[in-house]
């Protein structure tokens, strides 16, 4: 990550790349990053961001919409294709740790808490957090 750029000469790693590990204090090359450019790292970061921060998760019964965005992100629009249907999810992040209210702006879907039923055509959802 970019915050490591100041010590990139110790890590010997590009500042925009994740490493599998960094050598500990007792290692011969303390602070040096190992095994960079692992393809799984990018995939897991995508999963963390899309499913747990943006909060959009596919489930058998439908699409779970539970965003937990950082407090400085006040509004976001997330587009997700699920079972051939495009969902446009507009998030208003009033209070990140608050209750999540999902409502349908357009589309033929139902909402049960934060679970949205599968749609047959494009769907627009409004989500208010807080």
DSSP labels, 43-76: HHHHHIIIIIIS-EEE-SSSEEE-----TT--EE
> Per the confidence metrics, is the pTM higher than 0.85?
no
**Residue 51 is assigned to a structural domain of this protein:** no
**Residue 54 is assigned to a structural domain of this protein:** no
pLDDT of residue 3: 53
Domain count, the chain: 2
Q: Are 4 and 22 in contact (CB under 8 A)?
A: no
Give whole-number Cα distances, 116 to 3, 36, 65, 84, 110, in Å: 37, 38, 7, 14, 6
Question: Which residue range forms the structural domain that includes residue 78?
Answer: 60-129
**Residue 47 is assigned to a structural domain of this protein:** no
- Using the predicted structure, report yes or no on whether residue 7 has a pLDDT greater than 70: no
pLDDT of residue 41: 72
What sign results for the dihedral spanned by CA atoms 46, 48, 51, 52?
Answer: negative
**Residue 19 is assigned to a structural domain of this protein:** yes
- Using the predicted structure, report yes or no on whether residue 51 has a pLDDT greater than 60: yes
Cα(101)–Cα(105) distance, rounded to whole angstroms?
13
**Residue 14 is assigned to a structural domain of this protein:** yes
Task: Assess whether 31 and 66 both reside in one domain.
Answer: no
Cα(10)–Cα(8) distance, rounded to whole angstroms?
5
Q: Average pLDDT in the 55-78 region?
A: 96
Cα(122)–Cα(112) distance, rounded to whole angstroms?
19
| Residue 40: band (very low, low, confident or very high) from pLDDT cuts 50, 70, 90 | confident
Cα(40)–Cα(83) distance, rounded to whole angstroms?
25
- Using the predicted structure, report yes or no on whether residue 4 has a pLDDT greater than 60: no
Task: Assess whether 16 and 76 both reside in one domain.
Answer: no
Task: Assess whether 70 and 116 both reside in one domain.
Answer: yes
CATH code of the domain in which 102 resides = 2.60.420.10
Cα(77)–Cα(75) distance, rounded to whole angstroms?
7
pLDDT of residue 53: 95
């Amino acid at each position: 990550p970019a915050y490591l750029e100041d010590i990139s000469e110790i890590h010997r790693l590009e500042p925009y790349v994740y490493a599998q590990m960094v050598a500990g204090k007792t290692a011969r090359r303390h602070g040096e990053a190992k095994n960079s450019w692992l393809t799984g790292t990018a995939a897991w970061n995508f999963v963390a961001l899309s499913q747990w921060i943006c909060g959009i998760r596919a489930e058998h019964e439908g699409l779970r919409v539970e965003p937990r965005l950082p407090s400085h992100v006040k509004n976001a629009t997330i587009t997700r294709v699920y079972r051939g249907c495009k969902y446009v999810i507009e998030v208003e992040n009033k209070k990140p740790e608050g209750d999540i209210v999902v409502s349908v702006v357009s589309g033929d879907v139902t909402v049960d808490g934060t679970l949205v039923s599968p749609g047959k055509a494009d769907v627009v959802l409004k989500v208010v957090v807080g």
